[in-house]
């Protein structure tokens, strides 16, 4: 049995063996030598081989403010703003004064034409500009003109100073305190409605005809515009600003100086300028109280003597003095706005 198996296995081995040489006799496929296929780097020497992975340009994030991201840099915006504002800063000094003087000069020329050239008015109705100038020269030669101007400016400054201080104090009190506002505002509002000339007889009875009554009347005129502006400004301060100041620990005067005062500075100076204008208006009424000096007295005295030239001179001097004091207050306003607002 074993011999049969051995012979069968041997025969099968012999049957399979001729197939092996047949496979071995097949010709091998020709392969290209290694030198005949140059690498891509050699066929294209000008192109650098890019490494795998993200390129440096793709990996580097875009810088903020570059042209690719479509947003203008902050520095460029600031340069544009400065360049836009540069024409304003390069204005010729005194150009605003020159522009503001155009209308007065035109009015002066028109005045000269209708009086001296065309003769539409008599010298009593409307004297020529040179007649008014001559009247001013005569008063200056006598020394009276400087006295009239000095005493009127003194009265206005004293009355305005007293009225402005009282207006600031009372306006701040009623603007910061709800109790004081409800208690005093109706009374102050009623006194504000009293006409200016209604105070003249009472002041003469109380203070006679001396300087006290005149200065007091001017102070009354300056008080109410200042009070009204300060009171309204403090009542309308943004409550969120006040709460923010309190959250930082500001209370009392520190809260007023740090938060509330910068918010009301423009309104305060608007009230001061209105009060100054009212002080010049009340000056004429004050100098009606048995006065012997001042621009208001010059007005009434010129009317009584029929001197229209001096009357117009007094009006022009009041206008010039009022404008100069308002310009001085405007300078203080700009400095205050720079510091606090």
Ordered by where they begin, the domains of the chain are 128-339 (1.10.3720.10)
The model's pTM is 0.69
79: confidence class by pLDDT, cuts 50, 70, 90: low
Number of Cβ atoms within 10 Å of the Cβ of 96: 10
Residue 341 has a pLDDT of 60
Q: Averaged over 208-232, what is the pLDDT?
A: 92
39-50 burial by CB neighbour count: b if 16+ within 10 A, else e?
eeeeeeeeeeee
Residue 85 clears pLDDT 80, i.e. is over it = no
Q: Which of 295, 297, 316 is nearest to 305 (CA)?
A: 297
Q: Averaged over 217-221, what is the pLDDT?
A: 94
Residue % of the chain over a pLDDT of 90: 43
Cβ atoms of 112 and 132 closer than 8 Å: no
Q: What is the DSSP letter of 197?
A: G
Residue with tokens 């000339």: 197
Separation of alpha carbons 191 and 187, rounded Å: 6
Q: What is the DSSP letter of 40?
A: H
Residue 243 clears pLDDT 50, i.e. is over it = yes
Q: Averaged over 82-100, what is the pLDDT?
A: 62
Cβ atoms of 156 and 214 closer than 8 Å: no
Separation of alpha carbons 109 and 125, rounded Å: 18
Q: Averaged over 30-55, what is the pLDDT?
A: 44
Average pLDDT, the chain: 77
Separation of alpha carbons 152 and 283, rounded Å: 7
Residues 6+ apart with CB under 8 A from 284: 295, 296, 299, 318
Residue 132 has a pLDDT of 94
Higher local confidence (pLDDT), 39 or 309: 309
Q: Which of 140, 157, 144 is nearest to 297 (CA)?
A: 144
In a 13 Å sphere around the CA of 106, the CA atoms on its Cβ side amount to 6
Residue 129 clears pLDDT 80, i.e. is over it = yes
Angle (deg, nearest 10), helices 211-235 and 178-192:
130
Kindly state the tokens that stand for 299.
């007005």
């Amino acid at each position: 049995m074993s011999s049969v198996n051995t012979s069968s296995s041997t025969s099968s081995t012999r049957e399979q063996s001729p197939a092996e040489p047949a496979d071995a006799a097949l010709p091998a496929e020709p392969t290209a030598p290694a030198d005949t296929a140059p690498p891509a780097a050699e066929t294209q020497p000008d192109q650098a081989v890019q490494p795998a992975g993200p390129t440096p340009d793709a990996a580097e994030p875009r810088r903020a403010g570059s042209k690719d991201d479509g947003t203008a840099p902050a520095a460029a915006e600031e340069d544009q703003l400065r360049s836009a504002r540069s024409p304003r800063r390069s204005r010729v000094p005194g150009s605003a004064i020159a522009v503001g003087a155009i209308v007065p000069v035109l009015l002066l020329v028109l005045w000269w034409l209708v009086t001296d050239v065309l003769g539409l008015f008599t010298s009593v109705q409307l004297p020529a500009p040179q007649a008014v100038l001559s009247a001013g020269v005569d008063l200056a030669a006598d020394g009276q003109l400087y006295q009239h101007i000095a005493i009127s400016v003194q009265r206005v400054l004293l009355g305005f100073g007293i009225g402005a201080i009282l207006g600031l104090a009372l306006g701040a009190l009623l603007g910061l305190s709800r109790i004081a506002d409800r208690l005093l505002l109706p009374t102050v509002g009623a006194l504000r409605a009293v006409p200016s000339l209604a105070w003249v007889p009472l002041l003469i009875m109380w203070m006679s005809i001396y300087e006290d009554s005149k200065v007091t009347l001017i102070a009354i005129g300056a008080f109410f515009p200042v009070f009204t502006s300060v009171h309204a400004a403090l009542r309308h301060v943004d409550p969120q600003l006040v709460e923010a100041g309190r959250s930082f620990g500001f209370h009392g005067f520190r809260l007023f100086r740090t938060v509330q005062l910068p918010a009301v500075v423009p309104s305060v100076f608007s009230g001061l300028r209105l009060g100054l204008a009212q002080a010049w208006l009340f000056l004429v009424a004050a100098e009606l109280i048995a006065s012997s000096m001042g621009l208001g007295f010059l007005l009434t005295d010129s009317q009584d003597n029929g001197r229209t030239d001096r009357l117009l001179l007094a009006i022009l001097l009041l206008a010039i003095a009022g404008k100069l004091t308002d310009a001085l207050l405007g300078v203080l306003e700009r400095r205050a706005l720079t510091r606090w607002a």
